[in-house]
Structure formats: C-alpha cells, structure tokens
Amino acid sequence: MDIIKSIEAIRETTPDISVKKLRAHLTLEDFTNKQISVALKELEITGERKSFKADFNAWLIEDARTETEAKEFIEEFGSENDHRQESQRLAIWKLAQDIRENLAA
C-alpha cells in the first residue's frame, strides 16, 4: 500500500491520532523513518509534543496561580511520576510566580 493512502486511511478511522502513534503504526506497516518523514512533510502533518511538563508550564503562564491550585493541577493531570516529582513542579510554580511579581513591580 502507498504510504500516503495508508496515512489517509489511518486518519480517516482515527482522526485524533497523534503523530507519534501515526508514526508507530506506519513503522509496523514496514515503512522506513525516511518514508514516513517525507510523507508527513508532504501532507503538512506536524505534531505538537505533549507532555505534562509542557501543559503545566503553559497553565502557569496563563495567569497567576496559587500553590494550592498548582498542587491540584498536578494531582488531577499528572502521572504517578509527576506526583513523585511534585516538589520540582512546585519549584517551577514558585519561579513563575516570582517572575510574575518582579515584572509587575
């Protein structure tokens, strides 16, 4: 099967598929990384890397947050690993708040 047709078929049945999962699927169909990259570029399919860290940082940028709000965000959206690293996430929250306060001064 042609890689372009394969991509279109996958996206038709799974419209919200991430680029990472799409690449994995195509790899299982024996397409090479180079073929996949060329086809994705041709179809202008790009993936935004998603991670809790990126989501948390974007959330911090949106508005001033309390420590309680930060803890609740970590609890609700974080993985078990994020929960174990809560002190690091809260240090990032503190830094964001300090920067916000310094900019406001």
The per-residue pLDDT for range 29-84, each reduced to its tens digit, is 999 999 999 999 999 888 765 688 888 999 999 999 999 999 999 999 888 998 99
pLDDT beyond 90 at 95 = yes
Range of the domain at 100: 52-104
Rounded-to-integer distance, Cα 88 and Cα 80, Å: 14
pTM of the model: 0.55
The answer as to whether 47 is a domain residue is no
Q: Is there a single domain that holds both residue 80 and residue 58?
A: yes
Q: Which residues of 71-87 are buried (b: 16+ CB within 10 A; e: fewer)?
A: eebbeeebeeebeebee
Number of domains forming the structure of the chain: 2
Distance of alpha carbon 18 from alpha carbon 12, whole angstroms: 13
24 & 66 share domain = no
Q: 82 lies in a domain? A: yes
Same domain, 64 and 89: yes
> Do both 72 and 97 map to the same domain?
yes
Q: CA 18 to CA 83: how far, in whole Å?
A: 25
Which helix (H) or strand (E) segment is 12 a member of? helix 3-13
* 56 and 98 both lie in a single domain: yes
